[in-house]
Structure 1
């Protein structure tokens, strides 16, 4: 039978231009790491790939001769590596990467070690990175002098470091614990049970903590895109992946000429009313995360500018001939099918390609029936905080709620917004802070009426939807929607803009010497791109 060849140990190391120096006999009285590595009793180095700057060829030859004396079984191959500035990270890494790519590794026949004691700190870091990335299939070896220090001489000691972190139970458990904490944070601490949703959150956690590429969150209104975006930012901030702010904008609220100014800023005098420079939301997000919710609502011009800002990190504010810079990570949200929008000519294909690298679809609540109970308990806690009292739901009421919530009758068209509103209403009306079966029945009647086609909304919701349209109305916060509904109701009953202003600001105007109620109301309506003529036509 053929005799199996024993595996050889090959060491790759950089010549120490300071630690390995010495030509006189006194050099043997000092510890020299490269020579000492080949003197270790329990480590046989069969081949040493001795990398060195071209100008240090003489020192490399001296070290090679000294190793031949103390370790005849070691074959040394001095190799010049063209590194002019050993403190230039880019130059050093590039040179060592080229060396690693050209080297004929044979891991089936040889064991490789990388000596990281010598060379500049930059060199040591680069060697570490090449081993960690497996460009060099090796373990690390670190040498150090004996207790007497460098001046005592001798081989010193060595230690092997394997970068396979799975072998280190403590490190592995810490990484796993950090990931579990990240997943729980993204889910707001809710113990969700839907397997598909949990896998989705796990993937989002992996991408959010390791990538600065754009993320696209798709899903119906109320599926939790905005809340998840905020938590992604907070997670990245906690782990120091971003240093700038979280800038949140609903693109459905950007209309007309003001959209370009809001996003990209403007310079003084760019248009009538531009009395000062405005930085814009993209510049505010520099170093942080920009969340563009309902990105499908952006106009063609805004889409083109956004694409340029994503690709070049530069753009022109309105009215300016000088570009500005902003380096931010984009997180986009939409309830539209952007592929269909591209086919319909309403969304740029190149912009979709740019933001579609990481796309995650958040499922509607009706696709996650097993998650209704943990979310119900979460909403009860939230309601307790909002009402500043402990709100509970007895077991009978809870089971009754879940039976209906998971039945075909439960449409959950507003998803988690519906659930949040339902729990808040039940909690508010609960006698003594305890939700009963009767309270659940009352809420189900209210929800069924809202979900049933042909039934009318609450009058306050009707007027906002009628004036703004369903999509824009749904994009408003509940506070803004309720306030706007009252304003619109008063306007419809008034004879003129001034008359409506007097009715709306009756209390505050009594405390002022000079007022302009009509102008005040006109500015409020302009926030929603409305004017008196629009209301009269409506």
Structure 2
């Protein structure tokens, strides 16, 4: 039977809860992980900082685990992090740790404890596990309800396997949402035209994942204006835009008036500028500016 090995950061705050005998009535995640009745931890790799305070806490946690779970071996792993909220530093340190760790998947099963550590560390654990740098599952511990904490300080533990084939409901939800987005862009009109469907799929992928400008190409009357508004409404429904949809036919922008229409002007900026003008770019700030027939914009105006 394989041994179960857990890897995780010490909880600088949560593992420190309680003083004296009162600490046994508090949920402390690193200790609670080793108290689960249906999850036997044979070894815990406990990562901690290098200052005296962190080392003292790590030694106390190791001693307390020995008291409640004597079969669990606790190995203290020192890791120096100048800024535990710096993603690049934390990811690099954990990648180095994982690369040097002597995994033995034939004899051991591995769990990564994601409850402790900063949110940055939790994200890094997830990325390393998903990419299979870590041949492990995730384990998340949580406290009992407040009124039960003193009687059940061990809390509970949930295993998370990142093999998404086991999460068909999640995958089907993503597919359903994408299908709804595609149907929205097509205004609910089903079609078997493969080229059209491919174009809509590409537009949907770009629209919901990028803030870069988009160029819609097609003859006059093909529906570019309608599609642009649907893209705006789709992005707005995803909380990517909160401003207005502003449309302008570029064939009407000529000479100095083009600069004024796009960027606005203050009163008296030039002869005839009797009032200030906001400008289309300012009007569309936070939203979408659709430059219809942009090919009709003169070369001088484009420059």
The corresponding residue for 2:61 is: 63
Any residues of structure 2 matched to 1:104-183 within 5 Å, and which?
104-105=98-99, 109=105, 111-119=109-117, 123-124=118-119, 127-128=122-123, 131=126, 134=130, 137=134, 138-146=136-144, 149-152=148-151, 154-183=153-182
Where does structure 2 lack aligned partners over 5 or more consecutive residues?
Answer: none
The structural deviation recorded for 1:115 is 2.5
Counterpart position of 1:93:
87
Using the TM superposition, give the Cα deviation of residue 83 of structure 1 relative to its aligned residue in structure 2, in angstroms: 5.5
SS in 1 for 2:150: helix
Structure 2: distance between partners of 1:156 and 1:186? 47
Choose from 36, 42, 66 the match for 2:38: 42
**Once superposed, what is the RMSD of the aligned Cα atoms?**
3.1
Higher relative contact order (CA 8 A, sep 6+): 2
Return closer, same or farther for 1:251/1:14 CA change in 2, 3 Å cut-off: farther
Q: Rate the CA distance shift 1:259–1:71 in 2: closer, same or farther, 3 A.
A: farther
Distance 1:206 1:164 in 2: 24
SS of residue matched to 1:207: helix
CA distance in 1: counterparts of 2:42 and 2:258, whole angstroms: 68
Count of paired positions? 292
- Alpha carbons 2:115, 2:140 under 8 Å: kept: yes
Distance of 1:130 and 1:219 partners within structure 2: 46
Local SS of the residue matching 1:152:
coil
User: 2:5 aligns to what SS in structure 1?
Assistant: strand
Q: State whether residues 38 and 71 of structure 1, in contact with CA within 8 Å, keep that contact through their aligned partners in structure 2.
A: no
After TM superposition, the score normalised by the length of structure 2 is: 0.81
Matched, 1:24 2:20: yes
Q: Secondary structure at the match of 2:81?
A: coil
TM-score of the superposed pair, with normalisation by structure 1: 0.48
Superposed counterparts of 1:249-288, under 5 Å: 249-288=248-287
SS of the equivalent of 2:270 reads coil
Gaps of 5+ in 1: 305-538
Report SS of the residue matched to 2:285.
coil
Higher helix share: 1
Would the aligned equivalents of 1:31 and 1:152 in 2 still touch at CA under 8 Å?
Answer: no
Distance in 2 between residues matched to 1:24 and 1:272, nearest whole Å: 82
Greater displacement, 220-229 / 24-33: 24-33
- Judged with a 3 Å threshold, the aligned counterparts in structure 2 of structure 1 residues 115 and 195 are, in CA distance, closer, same or farther, namely same
**Contact between 2:47 and 2:78, CA under 8 Å: does it hold in 1?**
yes
Distance 1:298 1:108 in 2: 65
SS at match of 1:230: helix
Q: Which has the larger radius of gyration?
A: 1
1:59–1:189: structure 2 CA closer, same or farther, 3 Å change rule?
A: same
Does the 8 A contact of 2:2 with 2:109 survive in 1?
no
In the TM superposition, what are the counterparts of 1:299-378 in structure 2 within 5 Å? 299-300=298-299, 302-304=301-303
Could you report, residue by residue, the CA deviation over 1:236-274 in whole angstroms, capped at 9, with x for unpaired residues?
111212111111122222111101111111122211111
State how far apart, in whole Å, the 1-side matches of 2:148 and 2:115 are: 15
CA distance in 1, matches of 2:273, 2:284: 22
Q: Contact between 1:15 and 1:52, CA under 8 Å: does it hold in 2?
A: no
